[in-house]
Amino acid sequence: MNKLKKIFATDSYIVPLVAIILGFLVGAAVMLIGGYDPIAAYGALFKRVFGSAYDFGEAIREMTPLMLTGLSVAFAFRSGMFNIGADGQVLIGMTAASVIGIKLAGLPTFLLVPLAVIGAGLFGGMWAGIAGYLKAKRGINEVITTIMLNWVALYLANYIVRTFLLIPGQNRSEDIPASMWLTFLNSIFDNARLHWGTVIALAAAVFFYIYLWKTKQGFEMRAVGLNSHAAEYAGMNVSRNVMKSMFIAGVFAGLAGAGEVLGVFHYQSVFAGSPGYGFDGIAVALLGLTHPFGVILAAILYGMLTYGSAGMSFNADVPPELIRIVIGSIIFFIAAQGIVRWVLKPFYFKRKKEKVL
């Protein structure tokens, strides 16, 4: 009985694994209804990801911002906050890295690169800290403030680019100096835009785990997330922990912005709308069960599906939008874990009966 409880526990990795399988099966059923071949479609998807060194490198590049925005949402969630504003925090991080990289280009590279990366993280953290402050000191729901701050960040970023960084006649900033580019291992991956942001994301996941589960401050944050009233009764400073959790969550998202500017595009565009990094990060955090290492695995899956969906269109004539059905189905089964447990239960009892016989 204890083994059954362990399998069905909310933090068990069997549940998300089965959810992924069910999501692929739902996607296959939709393809069959639409007259497409799901085997050919999924084959084209994985061929797009693993078919060449360049595509594999680009798939990793696709995963990287999802790792950091997923960690941002998950960290805030573990502290009882729902960070809908990772998208705006990414934009603020991008803008900070762009301003530092372009306006301070005369500084030595060994100073300028860390300054741009750290600056992006700090400004992303301060932007998220606004919502944390309003929640802690004024009791304003962070869902509302972070959504509104996304739009403020979009218009502020565009204003800064247009006013201080714009190339005349174009809708983007000046180029970041090549000495600041974070790309690496290009020769191995056929000039794919792989960059050091991936290493930063993995380091951030390790920090996430150690900080929340191995330190006193992390224990307090998790306690506040589980029950703020009980934490306050135990003598913990709830307001301080709320602001601190949002700041750290914003740092993760700001680092994602630095990676995109310094490692991928090497300039900043004037955005017509939300780039969507933060909203995809919400899906990644849910799929990873808000655990840092689960988020990394979820970002790998999400990035593979997103990048590989183009192969479905080119090689199997399947609309790439169908991959959103697969992703949505996986998230649905993660959320509706009772369905997954219902699917698993007969298999477990059948195996148990065979052992008794």
Per-residue pLDDT 10s for the chain (357 aa) are 455 454 444 446 677 788 888 888 998 999 898 888 889 888 988 899 998 999 999 999 999 999 999 999 999 999 999 999 999 999 999 999 999 999 998 889 899 999 999 999 999 999 999 999 999 999 999 999 999 999 999 999 999 999 999 998 899 999 999 889 988 877 788 888 899 999 999 999 999 999 999 999 999 999 999 999 999 999 999 999 999 999 999 999 999 999 999 999 999 999 888 888 888 999 899 888 899 999 999 999 999 988 888 888 777 788 877 888 888 888 888 777 777 777 777 766 555 545 545
Angle at 126 between CA 137 and CA 70, to 5 degrees: 100
Domain presence at residue 74: yes
Domain presence at residue 294: no
pLDDT digits (tens, 9 = 90+) for 74-107: 999 999 999 999 999 999 999 999 999 999 988 8
Number of domains in the chain: 1
Interior/surface letters 256-266, b for 16+ CB within 10 angstroms, e for the rest: bbbbbbbbbbb
Domain presence at residue 113: yes
Q: What is residue 137's predicted lDDT score, i.e. its pLDDT?
A: 92
User: Token pair 């972070």 is at which residue?
Assistant: 146
Q: What is residue 7's predicted lDDT score, i.e. its pLDDT?
A: 45
Domain presence at residue 325: no
Q: What is residue 1's predicted lDDT score, i.e. its pLDDT?
A: 47
- The SS3 assignment for 215 reads coil
Residues 6+ apart with CB under 8 A from 113: 180, 182, 262
**Backbone CA torsion sign across 329, 80, 274, 257:** negative
Domain presence at residue 320: no
Q: Which domain holds residue 70?
A: 64-287
Domain presence at residue 90: yes
Q: What is residue 12's predicted lDDT score, i.e. its pLDDT?
A: 61
**Backbone CA torsion sign across 296, 205, 50, 266:** positive
Which one, of 10, 34, 71, lies nearest residue 316 by Cα?
34
Its pTM stands at: 0.90
- How far is 221 from 153, CA to CA, in rounded Å? 27
- How far is 286 from 78, CA to CA, in rounded Å? 12
Domain presence at residue 20: no
Task: Retrieve residue 261's tokens.
Answer: 């500017």
Q: What is residue 11's predicted lDDT score, i.e. its pLDDT?
A: 46
Domain presence at residue 300: no
- The SS3 assignment for 188 reads coil
Angle at 163 between CA 158 and CA 169, to 5 degrees: 85
